[in-house]
Amino acid sequence: MKRNIVLVGMMGSGKSHIGRKLAQRLGWQFVDTDRRIERAVGMTIAEFYAHAGEKGFRERELNVLHQVSRYHEAVISFGGNFPMSIETYRILHRHGFIIALLSEPFRVEERVSRHIGKRPTVDYDNLREFVHKMMRQWEEIYPYCDCVVDTTRGGASQIVDTIVQKIEEKKVQFIAREKGV
């Protein structure tokens, strides 16, 4: 039995966009770890990264991971640079059904280019190469995820349909949140 759905994957794969719609469809709570961090520190992700550096940012992300991993009936979208390791994977997988989103490189480039400056570690001068490197890193993670969904094409509603179908096919059962909790 699981408690929540966790969306991971490379930047621009649509975790925030799809996660919100999936939560609406299921009538669940939506949590975006980037927004959590922004609220807690009173800065944008880019400002906080510049202020705290990579180490400070990762620490904050791990704090959020511990806070949210036990939530019930929540769709939790992680940041695009979230460090998936055996340890973080185990924490998420204990209560979460882990869905990795992936898109073809041209689509990631297109989406990431929409808001230049929003993602602090993107190399906008060498975007193509940057995206390919990010893809190679994520390729090692996909086999560990409960399912992988391609978000290159189709609107959010269609992608949400695919996710719901995969959850049904795999007969994943979720523990309902107790009333008032």
Ligand X SMILES: Nc1ncnc2c1ncn2[C@@H]1O[C@H](COP(=O)(O)OP(=O)(O)OP(=O)(O)O)[C@@H](O)[C@H]1O
What residues line the site for ligand X (CB under 6 A)?
11-18, 34, 77, 79-80, 111, 114, 119, 151, 155-156, 159
**Which secondary structure element, helix H or strand E, spans residue 158, and what is its range?**
helix 156-169
- In the bound state with ligand SKM, the residue whose beta carbon lies nearer, of 2 and 60, is 60
Place of tokens 């979208």: 77
- In the bound state with ligand SKM, the residue whose beta carbon lies nearer, of 72 and 152, is 152
Contact between 74 and ligand SKM by CB under 6 A: the answer reads no
Stretch that binds ligand SKM, among 76-84, 133-141, 144-152, 169-177 (CB under 6 A): 76-84
Listed residue (94, 126, 102) closest to 113, CA to CA: 126
Cα–Cα distance between 14 and 36 in angstroms, integer? 17
Residues in the chain: 181
Contact between 103 and Mg ion by CB under 5 A: the answer reads no
- The bridge status of strand 29-32 relative to strand 4-9 is unpaired
- Residue 156 touches which of ligand X, ligand SKM, Mg ion, none (Cβ within 5-8 Å per kind): ligand X
- In the bound state with ligand SKM, the residue whose beta carbon lies nearer, of 59 and 161, is 59
Query: Least Å distance between CB 33 and ligand SKM?
Result: 7
Work out the angle at residue 146's Cα, subtended by the Cα atoms of residues 174 and 122, and round it to the nearest 5 degrees: 115
| 3-state DSSP assignment of residue 142 | helix
Binding footprint of Mg ion on the chain (CB under 5 A): 15-16
